[in-house]
Amino acid sequence: MATALIILAAGMGTRMASDMPKVLHQVAGAPLLVHAMMSGAALSPEHTVIVTGHGAERVGPIATAFDEAAEVVIQEDRLGTAHAVAQAKNALAGFSGDAIVLYGDTPFIRPETLEAMIEARSDHAVVVLGFDAADPARYGRLVTKGDTLERIVEFKDATEAERAITLCNSGVICADAETLFDLIDAVGNDNASGEYYLTDIVGLARDRGLSASVVRCDENETMGVNSRIDLAVAEAAFQTRARTELLTLGVTMTAPETVFLSHDTVIGRDTIIEPNVVFGPGVTVESETTLRAFSHLEGCHVSRGSIVGPYARLRPGTELAENTKIGNFVETKNAIIAEGAKVNHLSYVGDADVGAHANIGAGTVTCNYDGVFKHKTTIGAGAFIGSNTMLVAPVTVGAEAMTASGSVITTDVEDGALAVGRGKQTNKSGLARKMFEKLKSKRAKLGKG
């Protein structure tokens, strides 16, 4: 059966103390909203509707950047969760299938959990996602009888016996779309807050003789993010889970608690990650690589057998072929480094192609930016770039060519040639001593000792 997602993302997030909409705050390099969309995307939904409100002009583009087919609707007046879901009705006009209501500030619900809700829908009109809370606190309670959900009771309205129930409401609901909107149309706002609550549809469904049920999940899946404290807790939870998954898949981390991963990090087995390595979005690392301490990777691809770091920075557009070496205090950006090439230390390689088995000496800089445009440097296979070479792009150094240390290379170097681009050295006898004496005398006159 076809599925539609309705993701509520209209809240202001007052407790975030932020000008940014709550759902755009990030965990593991991706907005909370994108995490929720990723969970739902595993169901291959026919429709995805994002209900925005506060900051809609910022939320909408993020949603459509992740899924260009997503439809964004605006809840002008925020009158409760049922009212928010009702804003998706026109977007789903004519849709026949199940609708799942998710929340843009609840990033960790697993696709497997949503699949279980879809499966349960074959036997029940309404399915609610619940969790057994270690500390139920003020969560709404799910009152069940066997596998049937009788009603949802808000904490403030619950009896002592109902408050003793540990099965709590996550807010996530699945129902046939037509039934969902039909029930929402019947929801009233006769309550202390004057709001239309989505939870009321369970009681309405039961009154109509429709069955409701609960699918249980781990409490961690339903973690909502409402404050900076929650955001930090969510980040820690993500990192713990992601590190554990990598360790299970055969990745070695000598100090896993110091390694920080992105939502889309991919790392092959038998890779070794030393302490304090940070992954930004868009990183793929193949098997049997070594990532040494204090390195930062973002938007790059590292092939099998390569060694990176320590203290290396791989920026977006970096492509390392097999068995390459990027050493300490090296930065790369938009650079293709071919098999077996080495950039060992203290160099910047940007907007460049480096050929197989080339060697880039310490202190080399590809001078790629003229203040307006970026330019490309090409280094041929087997070339040797001497230490402290400035390669002023656009420039090509041919295969098996060499540059002398301390050179400034401004024109192309043919295959096999040696390029020397230094100013002529002259030595002025005794001049250094005279200059020091003059400077020391001047300092003494100024009373600086």
Distance of CA 8 to the CA centre of its chain: 20
> Where does residue 267 rank: exposed (0-12), middle (13-18), buried (19+ CB within 10 A)?
buried
Separation CA 326–CA 313 (nearest Å): 9
Instruction: Give the residue from 228, 199, 227 showing the smallest Cα distance to 214.
Output: 199
Distance of CA 110 to the CA centre of its chain: 16
Could you write out the three-class secondary structure of the chain?
Answer: CCEEEEEEECCCCHHHCCCCCHHHCEECCEEHHHHHHHHHHCCCCCEEEEEEECEHHHHHHHHHHHCCCCEEEECCCCCCHHHHHHCCCHHHCCCCCEEEEEECCCCCCCHHHHHHHHHHCCCCCEEEEEEECCCCCCCCEEEEECCEEEEEECHHHCCHHHHCCCEEEEEEEEEEHHHHHHHHHCCCCCCCCCCCCCCHHHHHHHHCCCCEEEEEECHHHHCCCCCHHHHHHHHHHHHHHHHHHHHHCCCEECCHHHCECCCCCEECCCCEECCCCEECCCCEECCCCEECCCCEECCCEECCCCEECCCCEECCCCEECCCCEEEECCEEEEEEECCCCEEEECCEEEEEEECCCCEECCCCEEECECCCCECCEEECCCCEECCCCEEECCEEECCCCEECCCCEECCCECCCCEECCCCCCCCCCCHHHHHHHHHHHHHHHCCCC
Choice among 35, 83, 124, 345 that is catalytic: 345
Q: Which two tokens stand for residue 25?
A: 């705050």
Is there a catalytic annotation at residue 124? no
Q: Which two tokens stand for residue 288?
A: 């049997």
Separation CA 337–CA 324 (nearest Å): 7
- Sorted by sequence, the CB contacts under 8 Å of residue 116 that are 6+ apart come out as 215
The residues annotated with a catalytic role in the active site are 345
